[in-house]
Amino acid sequence: MAETRSVVITGASRGLGLASAALLYERGWQVIGAMRSVDAGMQRLREVTGAEDGDPRLIGVPLDLTDAASVAAAAKSIEEAVGAPYGLVHNAGIAPVATVEETPMSVWEQTFATSIFGPVALTKALLPGMRKAGRGRIVLLSSAAGVRGMPVTATYSAVKGALERWGESMAGEVASFGIGVTILVTGTYDTEIITESGGIHIRDFNGPYAPHHSTMDKRGLHALTLRIAKPPEKFAVSLAKALDDSSPFARRAVGIDARMLLIANRLLPSVGMHHMTRLMMGIPRFGALRGSPAAAMGAPDPQTQESENHG
């Protein structure tokens, strides 16, 4: 009888994490959902999968990736429950929407804590057991933003770029122990992170970047994003394939929009990508706002914007 493989999925309470946890459970995996709201998340997972309360193949672990003590406790709970997991999927993340100048430093810190520092700490805690077991797969969820920095998503683009470099480096280090690394460059999926309610939206429509924001909204980019978004269940199938990969390292696009961006980024020079992005988003051309009222405005107030965003 084949051994039941275990997989840890961070951010398993909703979106891509929830869909992936449900599919892997249905395919016979032992799923450990690591999430902040573990009670609510497990209730959703049981509703989706039909699993009974206490099912040993569906385990919830509290995890706040911004809290070092929580990460350490989660790693201990995971090892006590399943030993060394076969799969470790870093899915949790946040996506601030604002220009660099508008984004409070606390949001930069929160973003990197959630998508880099916390995941690195969890990986470091679980790697000794995975090395001893001599097998496993670590999957890092990147996105189109990790391929090319995009306006008003600098924080998200920066953290996804860092995540990819981390994964590439780590792959060369752990391959000798039988552990593979996969980076999934995800396209657009219909989850809360692409909605006004699901992200951290701190754009200032009365500040110096108001011309950027208003033009982008007139172009209907948010509506376009919603139209091309695919259901998260389609992503889950690709994740399942990634966990079955036997190569030491892989970087794959998931979704037609991600594949097209990877191709364009290879073929077009950097200046060409810059101009294509500017035209697509309707951003004023180089120097267009020089000497304008917007140019003379003071810096946005991060404290005010942050408190408005977090209610």
In DSSP terms, which residues pair with 59 in a beta bridge?
32
Q: Please, are residues 136 and 88 in contact by the beta-carbon 8 Å criterion? A: yes
Would 277 be classed as within a structural domain?
Answer: no
Q: How far apart are the first and last CA of the chain?
A: 52
Would 91 be classed as within a structural domain?
Answer: yes
Taking the C-alpha atoms of residue 6 and residue 61, their distance in angstroms, rounded to an integer, is 14
Q: Which two tokens stand for residue 211?
A: 């011309």
Taking the C-alpha atoms of residue 35 and residue 38, their distance in angstroms, rounded to an integer, is 5
pLDDT of residue 219: 67
Q: Please, are residues 218 and 112 in contact by the beta-carbon 8 Å criterion? A: no
Q: Please, are residues 137 and 89 in contact by the beta-carbon 8 Å criterion? A: no
CATH number of the domain where residue 12 is located? 3.40.50.720
Owning domain of residue 163: 6-205+220-270
Would 1 be classed as within a structural domain?
Answer: no
Distances (CA, A) of 206 to 12, 108, 210, 214: 37, 22, 6, 10
Taking the C-alpha atoms of residue 301 and residue 204, their distance in angstroms, rounded to an integer, is 9
> Strands 200-201 and 96-97: what pairing?
parallel
Would 302 be classed as within a structural domain?
Answer: no
Could you state, in chain order, the average pLDDT of each consecutive group of 10 residues for the chain (311 residues)?
86 94 97 96 96 96 98 98 98 92 95 97 98 98 86 92 97 98 88 57 87 76 62 92 97 84 80 81 87 88 42 29
Q: Please, are residues 141 and 193 in contact by the beta-carbon 8 Å criterion? A: no
Taking the C-alpha atoms of residue 97 and residue 114, their distance in angstroms, rounded to an integer, is 16
Q: How much is the pTM?
A: 0.89
Would 14 be classed as within a structural domain?
Answer: yes
Taking the C-alpha atoms of residue 253 and residue 144, their distance in angstroms, rounded to an integer, is 9
Would 214 be classed as within a structural domain?
Answer: no
- The continuous run of DSSP H or E covering 142 comes out as strand 136-143
pLDDT of residue 163: 97
- Residues serving a catalytic function are 156
Distances (CA, A) of 209 to 10, 27, 104, 291: 34, 48, 15, 14
Taking the C-alpha atoms of residue 74 and residue 61, their distance in angstroms, rounded to an integer, is 6
Would 305 be classed as within a structural domain?
Answer: no
When divided into structural domains, the chain yields a total of 1
pLDDT of residue 241: 97
DSSP assignment of 136-176: EEEEEEEEHHHHS--TTBHHHHHHHHHHHHHHHHHHHHHGG
DSSP assignment of 61-106: EE--TT-HHHHHHHHHHHHHHHSS-SEEEE-----EEB-TTTS-HH
Would 282 be classed as within a structural domain?
Answer: no
